[in-house]
Amino acid sequence: MRLISLLLLSVLASFSVSHKILVYNSQYGHSHSNFLGNIADILVDAGHDVTSFIPVMDPEVKDGTSKSKKIFVPQSKETKEFIVAMAEHKADFFSMNNFDPIPMLFMPKAFAMQFVYQCKAVLEDTDVLKKLQAEKFDVMIVENFDMCGLAYSHLVKPKSLITSGASSPFSYMFEEFGVPTALSYNPSSYMSTMNVHSMFERAKNIYADFMMHVLFHPGRSMIEELFREKFGAEYPSLQEISSHAAYTFVNSEPLIDFAAPTLNRVIPIGGIGAKAPKPLDKYWNEVLSRRSTNILLSFGSVAKSLYLPEAIRQSILTTVGSFPDVTFIWKYEEPENEFGKAATAAHPNLVLTSWMPQNDLLNDKRISAFVTHGGMGSTQETALRGKPGIFIPIFGDQPRNAGMMQHNGFGKVVDKFDLQKPEVVIAAIKDVLSNDSYRKNAARVSAMLAKKPFSSKEQLIKTVEFAAEYGPSRALRPQSYDMTFIEYHNLDIVAAFIVLSILKVFLLKKFLCCLYSKCCGAKKEENKSKKE
């Protein structure tokens, strides 16, 4: 009996081949590492040999993987100095205006430097490169964000490269993934709403996309320069390397995203970062049973509630005070500080917590709504768990995420500059609690997500295994990569058409003139001869 089951096991094992996979997971931002870390862990669970290559940029960020093997490149001295200086600035996300062109004059280079510093450290470690090359990876997964990984993939030489984005694709990613932009109706990251019939809003969308290009351009050219200095001027451009990727993973869920053009090579694996919900523990069970309505409030891990301007904090307390029958659970980093103690003493319906099991809470029927910054992770959890929301985007891709939730009837977007006005927030909460359409829409989408034909997890595993077996497919690479700007936009044809049109008008005029003068000339002759 034992022998049979052993035999059976070995037969089963021979059916599923284990592939060698490298995930380049730059430890820079929570959402990025969470996305890439989860990809690594899911592939380990699927039986593959997965290594996470982790250049540590910010030691305070978690790498997001607990199951894969890890190779670290420690934070370099230069990177450290830079990150510390940045933290002292304590970027005030709540008052920053995405559309302001002035910061764009100096911010992009500063933003890019951190990636360049750590990339230098990666390249200096020549032993680790030799080790990675010797591994002969079947697949290497990189994110088109910290561009070091993409450039580095050309040295590691995996059988298949898979590019990715921990968000929906934005600005330069369209060019690198080979996907056409549709700026007339696909909102860019900074846009929550877009009236496609308004010329002004379409222009604003083009401007927003341009701002993103300005922000990310220096990072790309500096990384390219770094590799060309070290390995020669022939080193391929990032776009060229990207163009030969076997597949691209984007953290987009088509059932909630804005519909826009894509390619067969681009595989949406939205929600891949979300964990399966667990039942609540005793403490949270008790908190939720205090009142019949419960609202979660969180601005995520980057824009900390701790640093909220005083006016906004007071506005939030006024809001909490005007719903005495609703328990508010607010993720606040230091509940025990002076503000925290005073706030909870004055508001019995307020619970401050430095950490909460957000995904598990959202899964509980007693939670009525989620007031969130609209990070991609929180947005997807809101959709998966089917909760209505009030979306208050702060920075990055949050405005677009928030807009897409409003577009799908999950709730309302509130401008972050309106956070200081309690009446606006109160009205939004009243609307979302009283109008049943949000709850119904959320429940419907949640049910659809649970039953969609191929889960994100299946898409991920099958795609990686396919890429590992066959390498990139020639058919999936669009020819647009090899075209010039003029060719891609058919500007040569437009120019030829304009020239021919002008020529035609000119010739027609000449011909008509000629005809006219001939006829008239002939008539004159006739008249002349008649007179004679």
Task: Write down the least CB distance from residue 22 to ligand NAG, Å.
Answer: 46
Task: Write down the least CB distance from residue 435 to ligand NAG, Å.
Answer: 4
- For ligand NAG, the closer of residues 66 and 437 by Cβ is 437
Task: Write down the least CB distance from residue 408 to ligand NAG, Å.
Answer: 11
- Selection from 254, 29, 235 nearest residue 143 by Cα: 29
Does residue 193 bind ligand NAG (CB under 6 A)?
A: no
Residues forming beta bridges with residue 73, ordered by sequence position: 55
HSE of 131, CA atoms in CB hemisphere, 13 A: 11
Residue matched to tokens 């053009």:
261
Task: Write down the least CB distance from residue 406 to ligand NAG, Å.
Answer: 8
Task: Write down the least CB distance from residue 404 to ligand NAG, Å.
Answer: 15
CA distance 404 to 189: 11
CA distance 330 to 150: 38
Does residue 437 bind ligand NAG (CB under 6 A)?
A: yes
How would you list the strands of the sheet with 247-250, edge to edge? 69-73, 49-55, 20-24, 139-141, 160-165, 247-250, 266-268
Pull the structure tokens for residue 256: 């909630």
Q: Please, are residues 224 and 151 in contact by the beta-carbon 8 Å criterion?
A: yes
- For ligand NAG, the closer of residues 133 and 437 by Cβ is 437
- For ligand NAG, the closer of residues 51 and 406 by Cβ is 406
3-state secondary structure of 350: strand
Task: Write down the least CB distance from residue 281 to ligand NAG, Å.
Answer: 35
- For ligand NAG, the closer of residues 420 and 441 by Cβ is 441
One-letter amino acid of 214: V
Q: Binders of ligand NAG among 82-101, rule CB under 6 A?
A: none
Q: Please, are residues 434 and 399 in contact by the beta-carbon 8 Å criterion?
A: no
Secondary structure (H, E, C), 316-334: HHHHHHCCCCEEEEEECCC
Task: Write down the least CB distance from residue 320 to ligand NAG, Å.
Answer: 24
In the list 221, 435, 501, 517, the residue contacting ligand NAG (rule: CB under 6 A) is 435
CA distance 148 to 222: 10
- For ligand NAG, the closer of residues 357 and 409 by Cβ is 409
- For ligand NAG, the closer of residues 10 and 434 by Cβ is 434
Task: Write down the least CB distance from residue 442 to ligand NAG, Å.
Answer: 12
Q: Count the site residues for ligand NAG by CB under 6 A.
A: 2
Task: Write down the least CB distance from residue 443 to ligand NAG, Å.
Answer: 15
CA distance 410 to 418: 20
Give the H or E element holding residue 15.
helix 2-15
- For ligand NAG, the closer of residues 268 and 403 by Cβ is 403
Pairing of strands 389-391, 139-141: unpaired
- For ligand NAG, the closer of residues 16 and 435 by Cβ is 435
CA distance 204 to 183: 10
Task: Write down the least CB distance from residue 437 to ligand NAG, Å.
Answer: 4
The C-alpha angle 384, 448, 377, rounded to 5 degrees, equals: 20
Which residue is nearest to ligand NAG, using beta carbons?
Answer: 435
The C-alpha angle 441, 39, 22, rounded to 5 degrees, equals: 160
Task: Write down the least CB distance from residue 140 to ligand NAG, Å.
Answer: 45
Distances in Å between the Cα of 37 and the Cα atoms of 376, 435, 519 are: 15, 38, 84
CA distance 121 to 31: 23
- For ligand NAG, the closer of residues 394 and 413 by Cβ is 413
CA distance 241 to 114: 22
CA distance 507 to 412: 60
- For ligand NAG, the closer of residues 292 and 437 by Cβ is 437
- For ligand NAG, the closer of residues 122 and 402 by Cβ is 402
Q: For binding to ligand NAG (CB under 6 A), which residues are involved?
A: 435, 437
